Chain A
Amino acid sequence: MLSNHPTLEHIFRRAGWYFVTFLVAITINFFLPRLGDANPVDTILAKVSAGLDSASAKAKEEAYLKEFNLVELDATGNVKRDARGKPVRTSLGRQFINYLGMSVRLDLGSSILQHPKRVSEIIKTALPWTLALQLPTIVFGWLLGNLLGALAAYKRGVFDRVLYPLALLASAIPAFCFGMLLVYVLGIRLEWFPAVGGYDDGLTPEVSWAFFQSASYYYVLPFLSVFLIVVGGQAIGMRSMCIYELGSDYVKYAKLLGIKERQILFYMFRNAMLPQLTGLALALGTMTSGALITEMIFSYPGLGMAVLTAIQGSDYPLITGCTLLVTICVLIANFSVDVLIGFLDPRIRAAQLGK
């Protein structure tokens, strides 16, 4: 029946594949952080147990292991220990089953390092800042970059000669370098903009003009540090794509046919846009992983730092929670592009269906 609706069939097929990818991804997300030697209890113990006597340290370790469900208990509720006196950790398999059970209930569990805070709560407070920083930079950067790139390809001349090297420079500067440069020059030397933080230390987040003003003022440097780099990268990509399209047969043919410039331009833009769209989707998908470097340099709130500290301290639930979020976003973004491109570019759909 679906064969009568090639578009639908295409969408369903893709969805199926994405579901399989999702399952594989969450399995990897679960096992990868747990494969190493490090474990979160050691990290916490390290902070609190230097200088303790062995009995108290052991009591502490057992309390943590029990609290986080990382250890096998015997019938009396005591921690099982092996021949060397080390606690027997809950097997990965059982942890995985627990994890799947919780995931089905949409429960991400509690963070270990920030116990007893829920992972969902941590994500909820950090996500708005990450989105506020990433979404506008990516969307506006992508738009402006593509327009500038296309312009450079059409206009050539001085415009291209100035823009192209600038774009190359912007896209080639490592983000941390550029960010630090901005902080140093505009934040510390000239003191035009605040160097660290998301808003004035004297304010608390609320819906008020003062807070909005302060937050936008603090937003400028972190925004610029990502924005210019995105613009540069997109401009270069779009410029090359447009140049390639300008040289393709259909443009020449259209010109020979005497089709209007604007019409040709539209065809060309549409074609040159396709790979750029995929890039946009990927960027939007991965944006939830946070702009770690920007967050660190500007001490800006967001998810990147949460992920980093989680990984450093082997905070399993928080790592899996964040990677799950990223996985879902990347898959959704990719899926939407797949569908969208299917509509924009019939060749892809046809190829997918083997026709």
Chain B
Amino acid sequence: MPETRSVYRSEVSCGSSSLRVQLPARAVRLLAIGVALLGLADCRPKQDEKNSGFSRAETFYLGGRQWGEPSSFNPLGTSGWPISTMNLIYETLLMYDSLSGQMQPLLAESYAVHDDRIELLLNPAARWNDGQPISAWDVSYTFELGKKYKSLNIAPIWQYLNAVRAYGQDGRGDQDAKRPMSGNDYPRHVVFELNLDKKNPLVVLDALQAQSILPRHAIEPLLAARGDNLDEFKKLKFDQNVVSSGPYRLLSYSSEKIAVVRDDGYWGNQALHGGKKPVPKYIVHPIYKSNDAFSVALRQGRLDVSTTFVPRIWLKAKKGVRSWFDREPYFVTSSIPMLLANHQRAPVSDVHLRRAMAFAINYKDIRELAVSGYSEPLEPGLILPFGLERKFFSEEDAKRYGTRFDPERAKAELEAGGYVAVFGPDGQLLETRGPDGKPLPTIYVKSPTGWSDWESIVRIAVKSMRAVGIDARERFVDTSLFWNALYEGDFDLIMFTPSTQPSPSKPWSRFEALLTTRDFVRTGQRMYKNMGRFNDPNAAAYLPRIDALLAQIPTLTDDDARLSAYRELNVLFMQLQPDIPLVYRPDTFYEFSIKHWSNLPSAANPYLPPLIPGDRLGTNMLWSIAPVSN
């Protein structure tokens, strides 16, 4: 560097005046060209000048479901691109209303749960977009695909079903499925026969509101032409001339957006919506690459509704951004992120240590600092103390058996377990000694790198645990390694949210996801429920009561019996503390902008649950919203 400078200095005197005069002119010219180039780029088109594309007043923009370029719209495809699982194109039999707990009709106009079966009656007006009626054969065919192809999402339901049968009005069976259909002469009556060895109407109801029904007359020949080879079938993209039943059709897609266009011949307009059409002609899902981009677009009114995480949403209110509530917790929460403990690995397999952790964690900090306050205050146990689950929640049990933030009780619990914390002179935790007097290995809390809300939750939990004398540390791992560790049980503590979506089977499915011992295998092999390997059925301490309650609850129909069963199960959970619930979270976020469309559902106008259009019942808002006139 000094050398350069000295060279520079020596040259200063050599410069010639002619050079100095010539160069500025050239430089000015070049700069002018540069500026002109930049200026050219800045030709702002006026908003209403567009003669091609989607006009703003007819287009509803939604965001947050799609994060990359869609590769296929195959309804049996592997990548599960959201738009094809949304009921804009294919439709489900029923739609679950998470506000009232009722099922709303869609393809099925009514349903009834019997002791050994669930019966549905299809809407007589329901038609595929090629004019064919939607029949009970379509329903049985769709479900039976899962019997044939074990890798399909619908396959697991078959452990709870014996058969799905189609019946005509006269009670005729489904033997004559090949008969051509004409007029009203087709079966509309579907019977789901339950497997009584594993009787569980709840999971069947879950499937009825989750599984899109496919057109048998379109899918079957395509599969047959490929020798019934599912892998070959999955290569079809289903991106044009698709036989479907929903109110919209795929219009175009690219790496930047997906657009669907209204199908004015949609059967449900007459049958379900009193002759009205959905208001927006187009629905467009722009594909942005980060949460922030969706937030910015929402703020600028480029998006009308989004299902992404928007931090500090109250700051965006003056830009017209709204959420379900206009004050804390802003969103309707329905899931419980928690720390799963590994019951096959010391020391977290010790209930004293787990309860000490549960007493140690500052849940208020987690709620306020890690999740922007988007959560109700945490109550102990696995039952949400609000909403539809409230009727199964017992405040009395929670007070008596539950763990809350209380560092003194955490320390007492550690002492009861024979643990001794050794702090250094500066108050830093040096080590935790176990009941045998030896220092415990550090307890690592695994969480995926880059999931910033989980990272903050874990940091707060670790800090709280260290403060009472538990030697815990964060361990953030690559996402795919995280899932591997989760299923194979390679963790001390790990972040996880069990069974998140509001559905008819809540809160049972949350308990089941954490406590069931079905398919129990030791760590090292994969387990997709109860990843913490709680309640080993081969161990001496096995509690058969838990599995018995899990099997019993879905079969109960009496609310009192359900309440007492749920209470017993929740008390067991609180006493044994197999896992440590941390905070409540929405299953899906729901924010909207009031700039271009009005009458979107919110707590003040709760005619539909907080879901974006296309997502289950959220679709129905398309018939009720109105463009904002400027």
Taking a contact as CB atoms under 8 Å apart, the answer to whether A211 and B519 are in contact is no
B481 beta carbon closer than 8 Å to chain A: yes
Q: Does A116 contact B (CB under 8 A)?
A: yes
CB-nearest residue of chain B relative to A144?
A: B34
Nearest B-chain residue to A217, judged by Cβ: B44
With contact pairs A43-B483, A204-B53 given, residues A183 and B296 touching in the complex (Cβ less than 8 Å):
yes
Q: Are B484 and A44 in contact (CB under 8 A)?
A: no
**Which residues of A lie under 8 Å from residue B519 when comparing CB positions?**
53-55
Residues of B within 8 A of A147 (CB): 27, 30
Report the Cα distance A244→B55, complex, angstroms: 59
Residue numbers in B under 8 Å from A198 (CB-CB): 256
Which one of B40, B71, B288 lies within 8 Å of A299 (CB-CB)?
Answer: B288
* Contact assessment for A67 and B50 in the assembled complex, using a CB-CB cutoff below 8 Å: no
* Known contacts A84-B525, A116-B71, A204 near B254 by CB under 8 Å: yes
A354 to B256, CA, bound (A): 54
Query: A99 interface residue, CB < 8 Å from B?
Result: no
The answer to the question of B79 belonging to the interface, with a C-beta cut-off of 8 Å to chain A, is: yes
Find A223's partner among B41, B68, B231, B297 (CB 8 Å cutoff): B41
Instruction: Specify which chain B residues have a CB less than 8 angstroms from the CB of A120 in the assembled complex.
Output: none
Report the nearest B residue to A150, measured CB to CB. B23
Bound CA span A197–B287, Å:
9
Contact A200 B41 (CB under 8 A): no
Q: Interface size (B, Cβ < 8 Å)?
A: 94
CA–CA, A299 to B294, complex, Å?
Answer: 9
A46 CA to B235 CA in the complex, in Å?
Answer: 22
Indicate whether A47 reaches chain B with its CB closer than 8 angstroms. Answer: yes
Total A-B Cβ pairs within 8 A: 241
User: A10-18, A56-64, A101-109, A279-287: which one contacts chain B?
Assistant: A56-64
**Residues of chain A contacted by B509 (CB below 8 angstroms):** 51
Say yes or no for B224: interface residue by CB 8 A criterion: no
- For residue A20, CB closer than 8 A to chain B, the reply is no
Residues of A within 8 A of B299 (CB): 188
Most B Cβ at <10 Å: residue of A44, A56, A201, A217: A201
CB pair B256 A199 closer than 8 Å: yes
Partner of A114, one of B30, B68, B513: B68
Q: Nearest chain B CB to A348's CB is how many angstroms away? A: 24
B54 interface residue (CB < 8 Å to A): yes
CB distance from B159 to the nearest CB of A (A): 7
Known A59-B155, A202-B54, A243-B11: A116·B235 in contact at CB below 8 Å: yes
Chain B interface: which of A1-9, A306-314, A325-333, A338-346?
Answer: A306-314
- Please, how many angstroms separate the alpha-carbon atoms of A39 and B481 in the complex? 8
Give the chain A neighbours of B287 by CB distance below 8 A: 299
Q: In the assembly, what is the distance between CA of A57 and CA of B50, in Å? A: 49
Say yes or no: B43 contacts A206, CB within 8 Å.
no
The verdict on B45 contacting chain A, using a C-beta distance below 8 Å, is yes
Q: Is A321 an interface residue (CB 8 A)?
A: no
Q: Which of A265-323 contact B (CB under 8 A)?
A: 265, 295-299, 301, 305, 309, 312-314
Shortest CB-to-CB span from B514 to chain A, Å, is 10
Please pick, from A49, A51, A115, A144, the residue contacting B30 in the complex, using a CB distance under 8 A. Answer: A144
**Given A43-B483, A53-B528, A206-B52: A154 in contact with B19 (beta carbons within 8 A):** yes
Q: Is the CB of B480 within 8 A of A116?
A: no
Within 8 A of B (CB), among A118-161: 122, 125-126, 140, 144, 147-148, 151, 154-156
Indicate if the CB atoms of B68 and A309 lie closer than 8 Å: yes
Report A-chain residues with C-beta under 8 Å of the C-beta of B231. 63, 66-67
Residues of B within 8 A of A195 (CB): 293, 296-297, 300
- Cβ-based interface call for A216 (8 A): yes
A305 to B487, CA, bound (A): 28
Q: Are A201 and B284 in contact, with the CB atoms below 8 A? A: yes
Q: Provided the pairs A203-B52, A203-B53 are in contact, do residues A314 and B480 lie with their beta carbons within 8 angstroms?
A: yes
Shortest CB distance B529–A (Å):
6
Tell me the interface secondary structure of chain A in the complex. Answer: helix
Residues of A within 8 A of B527 (CB): 54
Q: Which residues of A contact B79 (CB under 8 A)?
A: 44, 113-115
Q: Mark A240-260, 1 if CB is under 8 A from B, else 0.
A: 100110110000000100000
Q: Interface residues of A toward B: which range?
A: 35 or more
B residues near A24, Cβ cutoff 8 Å: none
Q: Does A205 contact B (CB under 8 A)?
A: yes
The one of A53, A62, A116, A305 that contacts B156, using a Cβ cutoff of 8 Å: A53
Task: Look across to chain A and name the residue whose beta carbon is closest to the beta carbon of B34.
Answer: A144
- A54's nearest neighbour on chain B, judged by CB, is B519
Residue of B nearest to A312 (CB): B479
**Within the complex, what minimum Cβ distance (angstroms) separates A170 from chain B?**
14
Q: A48-B80, A296-B289 are in contact. Are A125 and B254 (CB under 8 A)?
A: yes
B100 is an interface residue with CB less than 8 A from chain A: no
* 8 Å CB interface, B290-320 against A: 290, 293, 296-297, 299-300, 302
Kindly state the separation between the CA atoms of A244 and B4 in the bound complex, as whole angstroms: 7
List B contacts of A190 (CB < 8 A).
none
Report Cα–Cα, A247/B12, bound state, in Å: 10
Is the CB–CB distance between B150 and A56 below 8 Å? yes
Interface: B78 (CB within 8 A):
yes
B572 to chain A, nearest CB (A): 21
- Complex: how many Å from CA A13 to CA B377? 72
Q: Does A214 contact B (CB under 8 A)?
A: yes
Q: Which B residues touch A140, using CB under 8 A?
A: 34, 37
Q: Check A213–B43 contact: CB distance below 8 A.
A: yes
Is residue A50 within 8 Å, beta carbon to beta carbon, of the partner chain? yes
- The interface residues of chain A lying within 8 Å CB-to-CB of B529 are 51-53
B37 touching A217, Cβ below 8 Å = no
Q: B42: CB under 8 A from chain A?
A: yes
Q: A59-B155, A243-B4, A247-B11 are in contact. Are A54 and B528 (CB under 8 A)?
A: yes
Tell me which of A60, A154, A199, A210 contacts B51 (CB under 8 A): A210
Residue A85 CB within 8 A of the other chain: yes
CA distance A137 to B518 in the complex (A): 59
Q: Report how far A262 CA is from B349 CA in the complex, Å.
A: 83
Q: A42-B481, A125-B255, A305-B289 are in contact. List 14 more A-B contacts (CB 8 A).
A: A50-B528, A51-B528, A53-B519, A63-B231, A195-B293, A196-B296, A197-B288, A210-B45, A216-B41, A217-B42, A220-B38, A246-B8, A261-B18, A312-B480
- Residues of B in contact with A (beta carbons under 8 Å apart): 4, 7-8, 10-12, 14-16, 18-20, 23-24, 27, 30, 34, 37-38, 40-45, 49-56, 59, 61, 68-69, 71-72, 77-80, 150-151, 153, 155-156, 159, 230-231, 234-235, 237, 252, 254-257, 259, 284, 286-290, 293, 296-297, 299-300, 302, 478-484, 486-487, 498-499, 509, 513, 518-519, 521, 524-529
Pick 10 A–B contacts, CB within 8 A, sort by A. Answer: A42-B481, A42-B484, A53-B528, A55-B150, A84-B524, A217-B41, A220-B42, A247-B7, A247-B10, A299-B288
